[in-house]
Amino acid sequence: MLKLFKKTKDKIPKSEIIIEPKELKTPPLSKCGKPLLLDNTRWERRLHKELMSLIKEPPPGVTVDTESVQQNLSEWKINIKGFEGTLYEGEDFQLLFKFNNKYPFDSPEVTFIGNNIPVHPHVYSNGHICLSILTEDWSPALSVQSVCLSIASMLSSCREKKRPPDNTLYVKTCNKNPKKTKWWYHDDSV
Amino acid sequence: MKLTIKSWTGVASWRWIANDENCGICRMSFESTCPECALPGDDCPLVWGVCSHCFHMHCIVKWLNLQPLNKQCPMCRQSWKFNIH
Amino acid sequence: MLRAIGKRDIFEEVWPKKRLIVLKLLQQETVSQREWQDLFFGVHFVCLWDEKGAAKIYDCLQQDIVEFIVQAQSKVQSQRGEQALLATYIVEWRKFFTQSNYLPLPFRQLEQSPQVKPQSSSATSSTSASACAGASTSSNAASSSNQASTSSSSTAKASTSSAAAAAAASGSSSASTSASTSAAGNASSSKKSPTEDSPVRKLMLDSWNKHIFHDIKNRLQESAMKIVHAERNGDAYDAQLVVGVRESYVNLSSNAQDKLEIYREHFELAYLKATAEFYRLKSAEQQQENGVLAYMKYADAKLHEEEVRAKRYLEPSSFSVLTYTLVKVLIVDHLNSILAECPDLIRDYETERLNLMFRLMDRVLHGVGVEAMMGDLQRHIMSAGLADMLAASEIITQDSEKYVERLLELFNKFSDLVHNAFNDDPRFLTARDIAFKTVVNDTSVFKMELPTSMANRGVKYTAPESKCPELLANYCDMLLRRTPLSKRLTSEQIDARLRDVLLVLKYVNNKDVFMRYHKVHLTRRLILGTSADSEKEEDIVEWLREVGMPADYVNRLARMFQDIKVSEDLNTQFRNSISRHDAINIKILNAGAWARCSERVSVSLPIELEDYIPDVEEFYKKKHSGRKLQWYHHMSNGTITFVNDFGRYDLDVTTFQMAVLFAWNQRQHDKISYENLRLATELPDPELRRTLWSLVAFPKIKKQILLMEPAAISSPKDFAENTLFYINQEFAIVKNGKSQRRGKLNLIGRLQLSTERSQQEDNQSIVQLRILRTQEAIIKIMKVRKRMNNAALQGELIDILKNMFLPSKKMIKEQLEWLIEHKYMRRDDDDINMFIYVA
């Protein structure tokens, strides 16, 4: 695995994606007649939907820290467990998702936080993750759940617990926001 | 006695013929609108890609506008082309 | 030379001669121009050469003035009668006052001297050596004397405001006291006269104050008040006397900061006291003798009269305190007895008297009186309005036209009352509006029952609501549809009535009920094409927007019109593409914009129609890829031609009726059982029953198109599987008792927009929507506020929802609980009434 990185200037696409509240819409009635509650802030509804489904039907090993989400819908803490039969079995990790108001058109900022940062060739000791779907391969069809699953599978497929080779330099010089790192994804096999 | 039809007014509505129930971008039902519209139907149309994936027009256009170079379908990452029948 | 003069006593040498001129001036005797100039020169000369000259002149002048005043005093005091006393005083005072504007002129030079600056009337024996020496002083004196000489005044008559000019113009020696003093009096309260600050003038006025005024001011005051009293009683009087007294009060003030001090503390006070006493007696007397209603007129007249009088006798600064006193004595002291008349006056539409009462009460501070009247008005409109509706309840509950007209009649009556009696005062308009609201939303005459909770959420009970919005919507429909009513009225009349509907709607709490019914009616009119005037249809949509109906609702209505227009274009294209379908029309509705379009009912269509439908679907598919048509046959309708031995008739029917009737097309004489009709039409049971009933028992026609066996069935519920139906071979359209050979008949009646659903379910959907709207609004508010207490939240909530409906406390509470339960928000741990938003 080889990774190069360099910092780039913030490149926020200049487009018309400014989200403002607008007139309340008439809520559609669900088929069973039970009121569908509408949170009227347009795109935030998607985030809310994702949260609800993640709480109600979490994928194995993934739990949302509801306490943290209650404070602020734009920052979620999510706990994931190392799967059985992998190098991380029995370990607990915590991910921090930060959403800006362009979500889902812009990817969430995802990092490992807490005491236990997994030792993994794609995870830096400051919690930054080198995963293409978190930056240039992001698609609005992805979701918190799919990101969690990708990270879980990234961990599961690891054959040797070690930090990325450029870890020391990167951690010293990188931006706080991993999205500002220009990643070179050379190796998808690990 | 004989009955014949002189004129008839048929009342109908229409619905989208989509592969999916929800828009892959906003996750709203195709039966309702994208998050930025109020009225479903003509005002908030669906569009199809050549790859056969379907989105609210407003959602996919917004996404494509944010992709200066590789305009891909969010679902299959194939290069996006509108399917104009 | 200086020394030579210095040795002599210049004062003793010069002054005795000049003093004679002073005395002449005091006495208002004629003084020649020469003498007048001499006086200036004398003062100047003494001040120049005698270092104590100024003080000496001052002392001497004081003695002369006091002496003159003492003489005047004895003249005044010797008068016995009030009038004579006043008259003499005023004559003396005016003379003196006039002089106080002139006499100081020659003594201007004294002003420079510190010896005469002190307030005390005795000049100090100051040793100041600087007395009035120098060229500047002399030139001053010269200019003074010049000024005086050009005025050529001997008796010193001039206006104080522009002394020189006015004096030059008049130049005469006689003093027309009345005119000049009144000018002086006026000026005293406005512009400064050149002599105003002069110590000599002050000396004169202070001396007058001390030696005359102080002693007799009480007598003067009393006399003046007696004159005013006499005037109030209509006796003869001399107003000038009162004016004169006031002027002396005003002009005697030596307090530069507060010139009206003496006036206010004596004259004004006495005037107010006398006024209050006079009217205290009079008002009680008037009310007792002539009753309250006459008394109101009296009070009004006297208020006006006294305001006019005040302009004569009082300084402008006293007007407001006088009015306050008068209002207190004439109105406030009689408040209860006057207000007690109010309810009866309102009942009897005594607009003039009410207007008078309103004018009186409007003068009372803090609006106490007006508020009481507003309360009376509000109570009256409520009780009279409700009584009126109750009395007419039998008609108006049946007939929405009568109801709305009755309501408008009431409104207009009360609005006229507010206009005529209360000049459309905003406070009374508000009282009227509150009362109208009560009448309109009252549920005692008739009501609709709405469930307060959803059936699936525990207990179900109903809260009655006014039927008003439903009736308003019905009335609207009658005006907008082709009906006998809309045909009878001109376009302008219809507009006026539609405006009236909106006026009433303004008072309706639950506008959502109106919106729902209006939309249902509009749907029918658009589907059946029964609008009387399509322009008006669109006008009213804009009007609804103007009166504050929620934008999304109005937009949906606009969308409905758009759908119809788009459908018309589509029809044209369709007919052009397939020539054989001239008779086919399609109306494609956008789901969501229309009233309840979601249900579909299966039906087996007549073969003729089954042929058309695939063509339409194919055409639409080509026009709009990715879309699929869904038919709403319960709304589809058409015209069929029915031919029998009696004639040829065009019948407007629903598609369901068509499906049923066409069952006989191949076997016209058969009797078909209910069961077989169901098999043939595939209609669900409730729809089939309803459709059959409309064909065997259509209201108001002589001959029904279908007959049944047994014939005695009285309700669609009583149709049995084996009930038989058959075509009435005798069917004909009957008009005026005669069978017609041709004709047109509408068998659709009120188009059913939904499947068989009870009113209860209909209302349930209103409630369901309210619940959603309430939840939405709570979230919307909490999202912005983050933390909010219960009371504030309810306030904002009602504000957001008031254009749709008035949420009940109970519903708000339930929805708050629901939202808390579903983690949209939570209660503060420390304060149960504080809500916190949860993202």
How sure is the predictor about C346, in pLDDT bands with cuts at 50, 70 and 90? Answer: very high
CA angle C145, C150, C151 (to 5 degrees): 95
Span C351-362, mean pLDDT? 91
CB atoms within 10 A of CB C165: 13
Q: Residues of A with catalytic annotation?
A: 130
Residue C331 token pair:
């109105």
Residue A48 pLDDT: 84
Interchain CB distance below 8 Å, C631 and B11? yes
CA distance C194 to C177: 20
Q: Who wins on pLDDT, A93 or C755?
A: A93
- Residue from the list A17, A46, A139 with its beta carbon closest to the beta carbon of B26: A46
For residue C138, the model assigns a pLDDT of 36
Contacts of A50 in chain C (CB under 8 A): none
Q: Which of A18, A19, A24, A25 to mutate to test the interface with B (most CBs of B within 10 A)?
A: A25
Mean pLDDT (whole number) for C476-494? 93
Task: Tell me which chains share at least 3 CB pairs under 8 Å with chain C.
Answer: A, B
Q: Which of C105-114, C378-387, C389-398 shows the highest mean pLDDT?
A: C378-387
pLDDT for residue C102: 77
**Residue C450's pLDDT is what?**
66
Is B59 an interface residue toward A (CB < 8 Å)?
yes
Q: Can you give the pLDDT at residue C462? A: 59
Q: Kindly give the confidence (pLDDT) of every residue in chain A, 190 residues in length, as a single tens digit, with 9 standing for 90 and above.
A: 333 333 333 333 322 222 222 333 333 333 333 334 443 457 788 888 898 889 888 888 899 988 888 777 788 999 999 888 889 999 999 999 999 888 899 999 999 999 999 999 999 999 999 898 998 889 999 999 999 999 999 999 988 899 998 888 888 888 888 887 777 665 554 4
Higher pLDDT, C455 or C737: C737
Q: pLDDT at position C525, please?
A: 93
Asked if residue C279 lies in contact with residue C233, where contact means CB atoms within 8 angstroms, the answer is no
Domain A39-183 maps to which CATH number in 3.10.110.10, 3.40.50.150, 3.40.50.1980, 3.40.50.300?
A: 3.10.110.10
| Residue C219: pLDDT over 50 | yes
CB contact under 8 Å between C552 and A28, yes or no, is no
Cβ-Cβ contacts under 8 Å for C257 (sequence gap 6 or more): none
Give C720's pLDDT tier (boundaries 50, 70, 90). very high
Assign B60 a pLDDT band (cuts: 50, 70, 90).
very high
Which residues of chain A make contact with C776, given a CB cutoff of 8 A?
A: 24, 27, 37-38, 40
B20 at A interface, C-beta within 8 A: no
Mean per-residue pLDDT, C706-735: 91
Residue that wins the pLDDT comparison between C346 and C12: C346
Q: Does residue C419 surpass a pLDDT of 90?
A: yes
Report the pLDDT value the prediction gives residue C131, as an integer from 0 to 100.
Answer: 34
A chain contacts of residue C839, beta-carbon cutoff 8 Å: 69-74
Domains of chain B (ranges, CATH numbers)? 18-85 (3.30.40.10)
Query: Has residue C142 got a pLDDT over 80?
Result: no
The one-letter code for the residue type at C454 is M
Instruction: State ipTM.
Output: 0.84
β-pair type (B2-16, C627-631)? antiparallel
- Give the residue with greater pLDDT, C111 vs C218: C218
Q: What pLDDT shows up at residue B85?
A: 62
- Domains of chain C by range and CATH? 2-121+131-153+178-184+194-209 (1.20.1310.10), 213-335 (1.20.1310.10), 341-445 (1.20.1310.10), 446-549 (1.20.1310.10), 554-598+600-623 (no CATH), 632-753 (3.30.230.130), 759-837 (1.10.10.10)
- What Rg, from alpha-carbon coordinates, does chain A have? 18
Answer with the residue of higher pLDDT: C478 or B21: C478
For C284-335, how does the pLDDT look when each residue is reduced to its tens digit (9 = 90+)?
888 888 888 899 999 999 999 988 888 888 888 889 889 999 999 898 889 8
DSSP H helices in C627-758: 655-661, 674-681, 685-696
Which one has a higher pLDDT value, C474 or A7? Answer: C474
Mean pLDDT of C537-541: 91
> Which chain A residue has the Cα nearest residue C767?
A35
Q: What is the pLDDT of residue C380?
A: 94
Position C642 confidence tier, pLDDT thresholds 50, 70, 90: very high
Q: Is B28 on the interface with A (CB under 8 A)?
A: yes
More confident residue, C47 or C292: C292
The amino acid present at C483, given as its one-letter code, is T
Chain A interface includes C556 (CB < 8 A) = yes
Confidence bin at C493 (pLDDT 50/70/90): very high
Chain C contacts of A24, Cβ < 8 Å? 550, 552, 776-777, 780
The pair of three-digit structure tokens given for residue C390, joined into one six-digit string? 């109750």
SS3 sequence of C511-544: HHHHHHHHHHHHHHHHHHCCECCHHHHHHHHHHH
Chain centroid to CA C391: how far? Answer: 32
pLDDT value at residue C489: 93
What 3-state DSSP class applies to A115? coil
pLDDT in tens, C201-213: 777 887 887 777 7
For the cut 80, the answer to whether the pLDDT of residue C492 exceeds it is yes
Mean pLDDT is lowest, of A47-61, C250-264, C385-399, C652-666, for C250-264
Please report where in the chains the tokens 């009342």 appear, as a residue: B11
- Structure-model confidence comparison of residues C93 and C459, the more confident one: C93
Cβ of B16 under 8 Å from any chain C Cβ?
yes
Q: Could you tell me the pTM of the whole model?
A: 0.68
Distance CA C697, CA C685 (A): 18
Confidence (pLDDT) at C116: 57
| Strand, coil or helix: C690 | helix
C158 alpha carbon, distance to own chain's centre = 53
Give the least confident one: C452-456, C574-578, C677-681.
C452-456
- Ranked by mean pLDDT, which of A66-75, C123-132, C162-171 comes out on top? A66-75
Sign of the torsion formed by the C-alpha atoms of C63, C66, C68 and C71:
negative
Mean pLDDT of chain C: 80
pLDDT digits (tens, 9 = 90+) for C56-97: 778 888 888 888 888 888 887 787 777 787 888 888 888 888
What does the alpha-carbon distance between residue C749 and residue C635 come to, in Å, rounded to a whole number?
Answer: 12
Q: How far apart are CA C269 and CA C315, in angstroms?
A: 12
Residue A186: per-residue pLDDT: 54
Q: What is the pLDDT of residue C198?
A: 73
Nearest to A33 among C551, C768, C819 (CB): C768
List, as ranges, residues 630-689 from C with C-beta within 8 Å of A. Answer: none
Copy the structure tokens of residue C839.
Answer: 């993202």
Residue C50: pLDDT band with limits 50, 70, 90: confident
Q: Tell me the pLDDT band of C580, cut-offs 50, 70 and 90.
A: low
Q: What confidence tens digit (pLDDT) does each residue in C521-532 have?
A: 999 999 999 999
